[in-house]
Structure 1
């Protein structure tokens, strides 16, 4: 029998946010493309499946995971979308009844973090070095999970704990401070205090100084999908960009609200430049990041 066959649907892994809801419920359609939206709760195991198995056509991905995947040669391409972001001076926490440590006093001590490749940890270690002169190698990082990219080997100053959650390391006094991501701050981190006294102001100052807001979760597409179905990728990108615009009134003027964007911009380029430099300094990647080359691969999306 002759005739044309419908193209396979795009498998798209996205978290559940106000700006992804219109795609998942069909309010904003993807023109000419059938998209399937598998769920993963929690999200991090899906990130590991993407970089290890290329499990999805398009996938939300943490910034540090993307940089490590790119460094390891995983065949994925960045799409210019920030799904989650914020400043992270409040992410370095301590027990309220514990010692009032300054960030400089972390040298030679143990700090908990979900994994050495967690993006929040990337940003925290970056401002620790930049603002306090504390190198990532000055601290023993105690982790509760492995990094997403299988090829990566942790530095010698990273230890793996069997403790279930990062906050539990702190409550057990195995670490003197803990790095918690945005969701964890309001969850397992309830009651913990930031080491930086005026964390919000410090985060705003970082953002103003650099002209960008730290991105936590970006978006990637498999290289083979981008090569063989560029029109489908473009249609999906346009729909997501529309959904982000349509839900603008659901985001406030906080760094987290302003971080959600689609499209190449000076701010996104600066964010990737800084993240790449931090990742290199922290031995998360081996080679410097060529942001211009990253932009060139998907410049057609905004033409």
Structure 2
């Protein structure tokens, strides 16, 4: 019996390496695995639905669910998760020494709808009282001018947003004090080239992130895995098959990190780091599956709606193929 060929686009993560190199094969599926930068994958999938399966920004995916028909369906696999206190940068010209001082200020992002800024705006709102309606929002290229939103925004009047000029970059605007803060997945170059002008909002961000996790039990989800809806509808079994395969590939990475005789990651104190993460976050510190992540997803979906990105507050269950909500492997 022939196997179903599917093209999948993904970044070069250790937790999917066993899928990309063929050590793990999804039941009944032959994968044409394309390793691409996340920005390229997101743009091509969001704009043109070029791939059968792809990783996608959680925020972008949630925005597509407002379309009729919705072009994608997800499975509860989360290849990218990042704590984001270390991704908040401020201009020293703005005199900001506390997160609460961001109220009423000018805050910028590569894109307003990106998942990372959704989490950061939510944290600032929940923990420091900086409401999205109380700041001025800007978006544009951090290092290169001309970046635009991948998906069209339809924000409520309470959210004051505008793109920066076509020749401007956020890295320079931050250093020059033209914006007060930048929330971005990557540090701006001016953090190093102009250290007197740009600094992190949380200097000891790792301590802030550990305290945040201890208090909330949230390890922020950045990306999920989506399937083109017409491919899924024609082959409903692939949701479970892909979920099983992603779980198997991740288990191999967990096993690789546990090997202490010859490290498989270039970290000098790898065993110590793994032991610390287990103490802080548990044995399955990067959980896949729906049940273990429902509280994280529910928090994110609240933020997404509060920030004007989804017209109604989505239920976590609405994001995923029904077949993938319960899995005997998770």
TM-score range, shorter chain: 0.7 to 0.9
Kindly indicate whether structure 1 or structure 2 has the higher relative contact order, using CA contacts under 8 Å at least 6 residues apart: 1
> Secondary structure of the equivalent of 2:34?
coil
Contact 2:171 2:189 in 1 (8 A): no
Separation in 2, partners of 1:29, 1:14: 16
TM-score by structure 2 length?
0.79
Match of 2:200 in 1: 194
Partners in 2 of 1:11 and 1:127 — Cα distance? 36
Find 1:160's aligned residue among 149, 154, 163. 163
Q: Tell me how far apart the structure 2 counterparts of residues 130 and 195 of structure 1 sit (CA, whole Å).
A: 16
Does 2:17 match 1:21? Answer: yes
Deviation per CA, 1:242-264, whole angstroms, max 9, x where unpaired? 11110111594288x97633222
Q: Secondary structure at the match of 1:142?
A: strand
- Does 2:61 align with 1:66? yes
Cα distance, 1:31–1:164 mapped onto 2, change above 3 Å: farther
| CA distance in 1 between partners of 2:244 and 2:320 (Å) | 17
Aligned residues: 293
Match of 2:302 among 269, 274, 277: 277
Tell me the secondary structure at the aligned position of residue 61 of structure 1: strand
Greater Cα offset, 6-15 or 161-170: 161-170
CA distance in structure 1 between the partners assigned to 2:180 and 2:290 by the alignment: 39
User: Normalised by the size of structure 1, how large is the TM-score?
Assistant: 0.85
Q: Secondary structure at the match of 1:34?
A: strand
Match of 2:242, SS state, is helix
2:42 to 47, 54, 64: 47
**Residue 200 of structure 2 corresponds to residue 174 of structure 1:** no
Q: Do 1:180 and 1:189's aligned partners in 2 also have CA atoms closer than 8 Å? A: no
Displacement of 1:16: 0.8
Structure 1 residue runs without a partner (length 5+)? none
The answer to whether the 8 Å contact 1:77/1:297 transfers is no
Q: Look up the match of 2:144.
A: none
Q: 1:178 to 1:147 in 2, by over 3 A?
A: same
Residue equivalent to 2:87: 91
Paired with 1:265 and 1:244, the residues of 2 have a C-alpha distance of 17
The separation in 2 between residues aligned to 1:273 and 1:33, in whole angstroms, is: 32
Residue aligned with 2:24, SS = coil
1:131-158 alpha-carbon deviations (Å, 9 max, x no partner)? 11111121112211333323x3345511
Partner of 1:11: 7
Give every structure 1 segment of 4 or more consecutive aligned residues whose post-TM-superposition deviation is greater than 4 Å. Answer: 95-98, 186-192
Counterparts of 2:20 and 2:326 in 1: how far apart (Å)?
Answer: 21
Give the whole-Å Cα distance in 2 for the aligned partners of 1:300 and 1:63: 17
Partners of 2:189 and 2:311 lie apart in 1 by 34
CA RMSD of superposed structures (Å): 2.7
Rounded to whole Å, the distance in 1 between the matches of 2:313 and 2:51 is 27
1:195: how far off?
A: 1.2
- Cα offset for 1:270? 0.8
Contact in 2 for aligned 1:113/1:121 (Cα 8 Å): yes
Q: Indicate the residue corresponding to 2:148 in structure 1.
A: 146
Q: Could you tell me how far apart the structure 2 residues matched to 1:265 and 1:299 are?
A: 11
The equivalent residue for 1:243 is 249
Note if contact 1:82-1:259 (Cα within 8 Å) is conserved in structure 2: no
Distance in 1 of aligned mates of 2:39 and 2:305? 23
- 1:278 Cα deviation after fit: 0.6
Quote the Cα distance in structure 2 between the aligned partners of 1:208 and 1:24.
34
Taking a change above 3 Å as real, the CA distance of residues 290 and 94 of structure 1, as seen in their structure-2 partners, is same
Change (3 A) 1:37 1:188: farther
- The superposition leaves residues 221-242 of structure 1 with CA deviations (integer Å, 9 ceiling, x where unpaired) of 1222222123334333222211
CA contact (8 A) 1:123 1:275 kept: yes
Match of 2:286 in 1: 260
What is the Cα deviation at residue 20 of structure 1? Answer: 1.5
